[in-house]
């Protein structure tokens, strides 16, 4: 099955969004369909409007920072009993405190410091991409099972109709 | 050893962290470590971009990266693989992003020297023969670098010096 991943790329720099998308394509980890957002607020709106499977998020942005966006997004998923979307920080921040804050406190799945190469990107996002693919695959299987069950019920109901109707 | 014409009123520990941050980042982006040279007395002619980013920690200070058109175009091409026109919005965006990446490394270098430096978002200014005029009371440090495709300069500025006493190396 060829799964497409809807990936949200959040960065206030248009050039950097382009670099992140190009590098992710080069990793060959998944067939990405990209959605772009300029800051955390924009990202929250795009998350609602699109079925996002994974997000790559800058830290320092106007209006709403990347770390606040990750916290808000995870809180929303928890309130609605949904799977949290795997999030990877892609940032110029690189101190241990910031890495811990992103991974341990906010719940990011990965952390990449700028500048990055395709190899570094591949190594550091592989786990998050695998998780996103697994979640999507599970949802597709559940949907397929529901469709099969529905078709079986319909077929049984038609059969009963013919026999006793 | 730096030439004596370099301004030296800036706290040495911060200067060391900042110059290390610039050199490590550009080496990583370009595969070429910039070499320090004596800064030119006159501002270069022609169009320029200046990208400014501020730090807040034990002291408040800013780092300004100033590039001419040939250096800016070459730097951005090596950074993102695109030959962008110098007068375009994406060029200013890319130069701002480069200074943002430098600032991330500067913050790490400050931390290694037991200092803090929370960074701001970058601001980019475009103009002709730009000169940064500092207030008399401001501590400043100017450093110029040479790369294979040209020279550029960086200026550190801090207003007020009362907090410097708390800094390591001062």
Distance of alpha carbon B87 from alpha carbon B69, whole angstroms: 9
Q: How confident is the model at residue B4 (pLDDT cuts 50, 70, 90)?
A: very low
- Mean pLDDT, rounded, of chain B: 87
With vertex at residue A112, the alpha carbon angle to CA A19 and CA B143, rounded to the nearest 5 degrees, is 75
Q: Chain B closest CA to A22's CA: distance in Å?
A: 10
Report CB contact under 8 Å: B103, A12. Answer: no
- Binding-site residues on chain A for chain B (CB distance < 8 A): 12-16, 18-19, 22, 60-62, 91-97, 113-115
Q: Which residue of B has its CA nearest to A60?
A: B121
The CA distance from B97 to A20, in Å, is 13
Tell me what the mean pLDDT of segment A103-131 comes to.
Answer: 95
pLDDT score at A99: 96
CATH (one of 3.40.50.720, 3.30.930.10, 3.40.1550.10, 3.40.50.2300) for B12-37+47-160:
3.40.1550.10
Q: Which of B78, B48, B52 is nearest to B152 (CA)?
A: B48
Answer whether A131's CB lies under 8 Å from A109's CB.
yes
Report the pLDDT averaged over residues B9-14.
Answer: 88
Q: Read off the pLDDT of residues A36-84 as tens digits, 9 standing for 90 and up.
A: 999 999 999 999 888 899 999 999 999 999 999 999 999 999 999 988 9
The answer to whether residue A127 scores a pLDDT higher than 80 is yes
Pick B119's closest partner by Cβ from A22, A60, A97: A60
CA terminus-to-terminus distance, chain B: 19
Contact check, Cβ <8 Å, A93/B94: no
Residue of A nearest to B80 (CA): A19
Which of A18, A22, A95 faces B111 most closely, judged by CB atoms? A95
- Are A95 and B103 in contact (CB < 8 Å)? no
| Residues B10-39, mean pLDDT to the nearest whole number | 94
Model pLDDT, residue B8: 52
The per-residue pLDDT for range B83-115, each reduced to its tens digit, is 999 999 999 999 999 999 999 999 999 999 999
In Å, how far is B97's CA from the nearest CA of chain A?
7
- Between CA A132 and CA A143 the distance in angstroms is 17
Does the pLDDT of residue A119 top 90, yes or no? yes
CA separation for the pair B143, B102 (Å, rounded)? 15
pLDDT at A2: 66
The answer to whether B104 contacts A93, with C-beta atoms less than 8 Å apart, is yes
What is residue B41's predicted lDDT score, i.e. its pLDDT? Answer: 66
Query: What is residue A161's predicted lDDT score, i.e. its pLDDT?
Result: 83
pLDDT at A128: 95
Residue in B with minimal Cα distance to A99? B108
**Residue B28 reports pLDDT greater than 80:** yes
Q: Could you give the percent of chain B with pLDDT greater than 70?
A: 88
> Which residues of chain A does B25 touch, with a Cβ-Cβ cutoff of 8 Å?
115
Most confident of A71-75, A145-149, B40-44: A71-75
Contact B17, B109 (CB under 8 A): yes
Tokens at residue A80, please?
């609605």
Query: B136 to chain A, minimum CA–CA distance in Å?
Result: 32
Average pLDDT over residues B155-161: 78
Are A15 and B107 in contact (CB < 8 Å)? no
Q: What is the mean pLDDT of residues B136-157?
A: 91
| Average pLDDT of the residues of chain A | 93
> Is A92's CB within 8 Å of B103's CB?
yes
What is the residue-wise DSSP string for B35-85? EEEPPPSSPPSSEEEEEEEEEEESSEEEEEEEEEHHHHHHHHHHHHS----
Q: pLDDT of A5-31, one tens digit each? A: 999 999 999 999 999 999 999 999 999
A vs B, Cβ pairs < 8 A, gives 54
At A3, the pLDDT band (50, 70, 90 cuts) reads confident
DSSP-assigned letters across all residues of chain A: --PEEEEEEE-S-HHHHHHHHHHHHHHTSSEEEEEEESSHHHHHHHHHHS--SEEEE-S--SSS-HHHHHHHHHHHHHHTT-PPPPEEEEES---HHHHHIIIIII--SEEEESS--HHHHHHHHHHHHHHHHHHHHHHHHHHHHHHHHHHHHHHHHHHHHHHH-
Segments making up each domain of chain B, as ranges = 12-37+47-160
CA distance A13 to chain B (A): 6
**Percent of chain B residues past pLDDT 90, beyond the cut:** 69
Candidates A14, A113, A114; nearest CB to B93: A14
Q: Determine how β-strand A87-91 pairs with β-strand A54-57.
A: parallel
Q: Which of A15, A94, A97 sits opposite B104 (nearest CB)?
A: A94
CA distance linking residue A34 with residue A6, whole number of Å: 6
Q: How confident is the model at residue A152 (pLDDT cuts 50, 70, 90)?
A: confident
Cα–Cα distance for residue pair B65/B23, rounded to 1 Å:
13
Read off the pLDDT of residues B44-83 as tens digits, 9 standing for 90 and up.
888 999 999 999 998 899 999 999 999 999 999 999 999 9
Task: Identify the pLDDT of residue A157.
Answer: 85
Using alpha carbons only, how large is chain A's radius of gyration in Å?
A: 19
**What CA–CA distance (Å, rounded) separates B145 from B156?**
14
What CATH code is assigned to A4-137?
Answer: 3.40.50.2300
What number is the average pLDDT over the span B22-48?
Answer: 89
- The pLDDT of residue B169 is above 60: no
pLDDT of res. B123: 97
The DSSP letter of residue B165 is: G
Six-digit token string for B37: 């040279």
What residue in A sits closest to B83 (Cα-Cα)? A15
């Amino acid at each position: 099955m060829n799964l497409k991943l809807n990936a949200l790329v959040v960065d206030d720099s248009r050039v950097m969004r382009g670099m992140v998308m190009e590098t992710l394509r080069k990793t060959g980890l998944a067939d990405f369909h990209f959605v772009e957002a300029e800051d955390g607020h924009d990202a929250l709106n795009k998350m609602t409007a699109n079925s996002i499977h994974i997000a790559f998020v800058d830290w320092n942005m106007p209006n709403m920072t990347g770390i606040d966006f990750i916290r808000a997004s995870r809180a929303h998923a928890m309130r609605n009993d949904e799977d949290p979307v795997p999030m990877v920080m892609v940032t110029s921040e690189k101190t241990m405190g910031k890495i811990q804050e992103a991974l341990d406190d906010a719940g990011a799945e990965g952390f990449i410091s700028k500048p990055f190469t395709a190899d570094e990107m591949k190594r550091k996002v592989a786990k998050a991409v695998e998780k996103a693919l697994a979640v999507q695959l599970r949802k597709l299987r559940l949907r397929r099972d529901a469709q099969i069950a529905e078709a079986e019920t319909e077929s049984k109901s038609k059969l009963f109709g013919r026999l006793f109707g | 050893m730096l030439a004596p014409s370099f301004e030296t009123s800036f706290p040495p520990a911060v200067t060391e962290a900042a110059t290390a941050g610039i050199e490590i980042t550009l080496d990583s982006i370009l595969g070429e470590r910039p070499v320090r040279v004596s800064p030119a007395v006159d501002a270069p002619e022609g169009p320029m971009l200046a990208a400014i980013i501020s730090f807040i920690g034990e002291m408040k200070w800013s780092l300004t990266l100033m590039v001419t058109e040939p250096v800016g175009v070459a730097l951005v091409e090596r950074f993102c693989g695109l030959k962008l026109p110098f007068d375009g919005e994406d060029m200013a965006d890319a130069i701002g992003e480069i200074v943002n990446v430098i600032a991330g490394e500067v913050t790490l270098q400050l931390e290694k020297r037991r200092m803090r430096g929370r960074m701001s978002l970058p601001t980019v200014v475009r103009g002709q023969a730009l000169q940064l005029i500092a207030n008399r009371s401001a501590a400043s440090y100017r450093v110029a670098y040479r790369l294979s495709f040209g020279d550029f300069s960086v200026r550190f500025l801090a207003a007020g010096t009362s907090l410097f006493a708390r800094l390591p190396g001062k």
